[in-house]
Homo-oligomer: A and B are copies of this chain.
Amino acid sequence: MNSTKRRGQLIVLSGPSGTGKSTVIAELLQARPDLYFSVSFTTRPPRPGETDGKEYHFVSRETFEDMISKGAFLEYAQYVENYYGTSLQLIEEKRAAGIDVLLEIEVQGAEEVRKKCPDAVLIFVAPPSFEELSRRLRERNTDDEAVIASRLETARKECEEISNYDYLVVNYQVPIAVKEVLSILTASGCRTQYRLIDWKGV
């Protein structure tokens, strides 16, 4: 509406492994192809079907630690013995161009984002229940029982952090969860401090 450049929003999705975050994100990106989905860097090995640069930028521990020392990450965290991190430069470029950025990160990383970007919108995606999460992790059939037990224990700990998040989306059904995240995106764009950048006033 005027010459002031609207800054893109930073929307962060976190939640335990197995809550269906990836499915929710895939549908979000279909509904909002204007969103930039930030691909994280990780040192964990690719799972079958994963492609470098698509699900993650897969890098070695040496490369990752070099990036840490250069301050290249908005946030990074170690999780089940692997690093995960988000490129600060990429995010900043997109937001400066007015593009909304969607991040999927680990629960540890979200707190770091909050500190560095107080205007970030933090969304926790939770499973309906512990029983349902167990069922989903077993259905995925990519991990053995010990790994599943460890993931469930991690999930319990991660859920203790929920109160640090602005929003809690419980993934009972994917279409409802997607609609809720889309509403959060629209609503966040209506936040007063945000809108006052575009609106000249009366």
Contact = CB atoms under 8 A, between A and B. Distances in A.
A192 interface: yes
Contact of A190 (B162, B180, B196): B180
For chain A, the bracket of interface size reads 35 or more
Interface in A69-95: none
B192 A166 contact: yes
A191 B166 contact: yes
A129 interface: yes
Interface of A: 1, 16, 123-124, 126-130, 133, 155-156, 159, 162-163, 165-170, 179-180, 182-188, 190-193, 195-196, 198-202
5 contacts: A126-B199, A167-B187, A168-B191, A182-B183, A183-B184
